[in-house]
Amino acid sequence: MTKYDVWKLMEIAESANAPDTQPCDSRNWSAHVEFEAKDNWKVVIFYDCGNLDYIDHFITPDGEIIDYWDWPDGEDFYTSDKNLLMCWCGNGDLERLRSTKERIEQEARRRKLF
């Protein structure tokens, strides 16, 4: 368990309104791009070949770097906070990931009944 709520972090990521692509002069262009987000947070997104690939890290308003890649995988990797953030791939993904997590958890509960 981390001190940051995964859904709050995803809301912060979506508030940065990072574009799906970045203009680049080479089709091999890759870079970390920092975006301003709500409540004075910052989100650093990695772009691979100019396309949004993943959230690299967050920066809190007081400058703390949240590198979720170092978080534990959790009991169930597929619904862990770390994996949910790894799977975020752009604006609008928050709701998709919420519903995916709910379906996985429902299936796990169903399987435990048998």
pLDDT digits (tens, 9 = 90+) for 66-104: 999 988 877 666 678 888 888 888 988 888 888 887 877
Which domain range does residue 87 map to? 6-112
Classify residue 53: in a domain, yes or no.
yes
Determine, yes or no, domain membership for 79: yes
Specify if 1 maps to a domain.
no
pLDDT: is 104 or 113 the higher one?
Answer: 104
pLDDT score, position 114: 46
Assess if residue 75 is contained within a domain.
Answer: yes
Number of structural domains in the chain? 1
Res. 37: pLDDT tops 90: yes
- Both structure tokens of 7: 């859904």
Residue 84 is assigned to a structural domain of this protein: yes
Compute the mean pLDDT over every residue in the chain, rounded to the nearest whole number: 86
pLDDT at 65 over 80: yes
Query: What is the per-residue pLDDT for 1?
Result: 47
Model confidence, pTM:
0.82
Q: Does 43 fall in a domain?
A: yes
Give residue 16's pLDDT. Answer: 96
**Which residue did the predictor score with more confidence, 108 or 51?**
51
